[in-house]
Amino acid sequence: MINIFDIDLETFQSQIAQAGHQPFRAKQLWRWLYKEEQTDFELMTDLAKDFRQYLAQHYQVSFPNINFDHTSKDGTRKWLFDMGENNAIETVFIPEKNRGTLCISSQVGCALECTFCSTGRQGFNRNLSQAEIISQLWVANQMLTDHYDSQEHKPVTNVVMMGMGEPLANYDNVVGALKIMLDDKAYGLSRRRVTVSTSGLVPAILKLKNDCPVSLAVSLHAPNNRIRDAIVPINKKYPLNTLFDACHDYLEKAPRDFITFEYVMLRDVNDSDENAMELVNLVKNISCKFNLIPFNPFPKSGYESSNKDRILKFQKILIDHDIVTTIRKTRGDDIDAACGQLAGDVQDRTKRTIRLIQEGKK
C-alpha cells in the first residue's frame, strides 16, 4: 500500500489516470486530505464509489504514533513521534498573537555533530520520508483545531524546518514536503512563511534556489572559520567564503530579500565584542538579519549560555552597524522544547556519546 502523503499531486494525477480515473479526482482528494483533514476514503462523499474503492485497494493514509504530547506553561506544545526501532522525533508548535509556528524535524538524529546541539549528540539514525515530514504538519493542525473557531483558519501559519536533523541532507523528501506545504490545493502557505534552516550544505543551497526557493536561515554561530570549524564541523568542507557565495546566489530567487543568520550565544566561545565586530565585517556585503539564540543547556554539553547583559551588548554592536538583530525568546524550555534541546528518548545507534567520551570531548 502506498502512503498517499508520499506522493505529490502531479504524480497522483498520473497514477489514477493510468488506472482509468479522471485526473480531477486528485484535486478533490487533496481538498479532503489537507483542507478537511479527512483520512477515511469512505467519508469523502463527493468521490465516485468506484474511485473510493480503488483508493482503499491501493493507498493508505498513515501517521507515526504519538508517544507523548506536552504543553508548556507558555503555551508551546511538543509532540514526540514514534519512528520505530526505539527511535523518535520531536515537533514543536509555538503560538504567538498573530501566527502559529511549527518547528518540524527532517531526520532521526543528525550527522553534522554541531557540538552545542543535543540532537547532534544522538548520532544519525535515518532520514524521514516525505510522508513522515508532512505528517507532522497534518497532525499538528488536526490536534490544534479545537482551539480555533473555524476550519478556514488553520492553527499553523508558519513552518520552520529547524527541528531534529539537517533538512538539506534529506533533500528530496524535504523538498517534496515543502511543495505540499506551498500547494494551494493543500496548505497554500506562502514561500515567505516557510523557512529551511541549514548548517551550510552549499550544493544543496544552490539546488534549493532553483527547485523550491523558500525563506532561508543559516546556522552561522561563529564569526570566523577557526571557531566555526570547532563548533560546526561542516564548515571544514564548506568554509565561510564558500557559504557566503552560496547565500548571495540564493538571494536571487529567495522570497525575502535577506538571509537570516542564526547565532547561538556561547559564553567565552563566540560572544565577545571582538566577535561581534568580526561579524559586522563578515556580513557587510550581504543583506541579512541576525537571530541571537541564548544557549539552552543540556546534560554534559560542556557549554554555558552568555549572560543577558553580554547578549544585549553583542546585539547593540550589530544594531549600531545597521544590522537588524533580534534575540530569540526562549519558549518551551520547561518541556525541553527550546532551540537545541530536541532530543527525545532516542537510542544512539552510532555510539557517538561513547566516542566523544573516549576522545575527551564530553
Residue with cell 522525533: 89
Per-residue cell: 47: 468521490
Start-to-end C-alpha separation, the chain: 45
Kind plus residue range of the DSSP H or E element containing 107: strand 107-109
Rg (CA), the chain: 21
- Taking alpha carbons only, the member of 262, 248, 247 closest to residue 114 is 262
Q: What is the mean pLDDT of each run of 10 residues along the chain (362 residues)?
A: 94 95 95 94 94 96 93 91 91 92 95 87 89 97 72 82 96 97 95 97 98 98 98 97 98 96 97 98 96 88 93 98 92 52 44 38 40
Please give the model's pTM, rounded to 2 decimal places. Answer: 0.89
pLDDT in tens, 283-294: 999 999 999 999
pLDDT score, position 148: 53
Active site residues: 90, 339
CA distance linking residue 328 with residue 16, whole number of Å: 46
* DSSP-derived secondary structure letter, 266: B
pLDDT score, position 22: 94
pLDDT score, position 351: 40
pLDDT score, position 349: 41
pLDDT score, position 329: 80
Per-residue cell: 133: 515530514
CA distance linking residue 362 with residue 216, whole number of Å: 31
- Given a contact cutoff of 8 angstroms between Cβ atoms, the answer to whether 138 and 34 are in contact is yes
Dihedral, 338, 127, 9, 80 alpha carbons, nearest 10 = -40
Nearby residues of 42 by Cβ (< 8 Å), 6 or more positions away: 52, 56
- Given a contact cutoff of 8 angstroms between Cβ atoms, the answer to whether 162 and 198 are in contact is no
CA distance linking residue 131 with residue 12, whole number of Å: 14
The sign one gets for the Cα dihedral 269, 270, 275, 276 is: negative
User: % helix / strand / coil in the chain, to the nearest 5?
Assistant: 40, 20, 40
Distances (CA, A) of 349 to 18, 125, 164, 233, 303: 42, 7, 16, 20, 24
pLDDT score, position 350: 40
pLDDT score, position 226: 98
Amino acid at 183: D
What the chain holds in terms of domains, given with CATH numbers, is 2-60 (1.10.150.530), 65-358 (3.20.20.70)
- Taking alpha carbons only, the member of 128, 293, 155 closest to residue 222 is 293
Per-residue cell: 231: 563548533
pLDDT score, position 298: 82
